[in-house]
Amino acid sequence: MQIKGEVLRTVRKEQNMSQEELALELNVTISTVSNWERQDVPGSRFIKPIAEALNVSVHKLTGVPPNVSSVHEISVDTYEEENILLKRLMESFEQFVRDKEKNIGNDKQESWEEEWRNG
Each residue's pLDDT, cut to its tens digit, for the chain (119 residues) gives 677 778 888 889 999 999 999 999 999 999 999 988 888 777 778 888 998 999 888 878 777 666 655 445 555 556 677 777 788 888 888 888 887 777 766 545 556 566 666 66
- The rounded radius of gyration (Å) of the Cα atoms in the chain is 25
Q: Are 3 and 41 in contact (CB under 8 A)?
A: yes
Burial tier of 26 (Cβ tally within 10 Å: 0-12, 13-18, 19+):
middle
pLDDT at 108: 52
* Strand locations in 30-74 (E): none
Please state, in angstroms and rounded to a whole number, the distance separating the CA atoms of residues 64 and 75. 18
Please state, in angstroms and rounded to a whole number, the distance separating the CA atoms of residues 71 and 59. 11
pLDDT at 93: 83
Alpha-carbon separation of residue 75 from 45, 46, 72, 78 (angstroms) = 7, 10, 10, 9
pTM for the predicted model, two decimal places: 0.53
Closest CA to 54 of 27, 20, 16, 28: 16
pLDDT at 59: 78
Closest CA to 56 of 3, 95, 92: 3
